[in-house]
Amino acid sequence: MVFYRSFLDTILKIDNPEVGYELFVAVTSYSLYGIEPKLTGMSDAFWTLIKPQLDANLRKYENGKKGARHGIKGGRPKTPKKPLTNPKETPKLTPKKPLTNPKLTPNVNVNVNDNENVNVNKNVLKDKNIFSFENLTDKHNQIKRDFQIDSFPKLRKSKDLNKSFLTWLIYRKANSIFEVEAHLKSFIKLIKDRYTTESIILAVDHAILNKHLSIHPTEKLKTSGYKWPSKGPIPPGT
- Per the structure, the complete domain to which residue 202 belongs is given by 117-224
> What pLDDT does 167 receive?
96
Which candidate, 226, 167, 172, 175, places its Cα nearest to that of 198?
A: 226
Same domain, 37 and 127: no
> What pLDDT does 189 receive?
92
38, 72, 106: which is the final residue of a domain?
72
pLDDT bucket at 63, cuts 50 / 70 / 90: confident
Region 51-74: mean pLDDT is 74
Query: Quick check: 217 and 232 in contact, CB under 8 A?
Result: no
d(CA 144, CA 138): 10
Same domain, 122 and 66: no
Residue 237 lies in a domain: no
159 burial via Cβ count (<10 Å: 0-12, 13-18, 19+): middle
> What pLDDT does 91 receive?
57
Q: Look up the pTM and report it.
A: 0.44
What percentage of the chain exceeds 70 in pLDDT? 65
Query: Quick check: 50 and 37 in contact, CB under 8 A?
Result: no
Residue 106 lies in a domain: no
Query: Quick check: 182 and 32 in contact, CB under 8 A?
Result: yes
Same domain, 62 and 133: no
- CA 73 to chain CA mean position, Å: 21
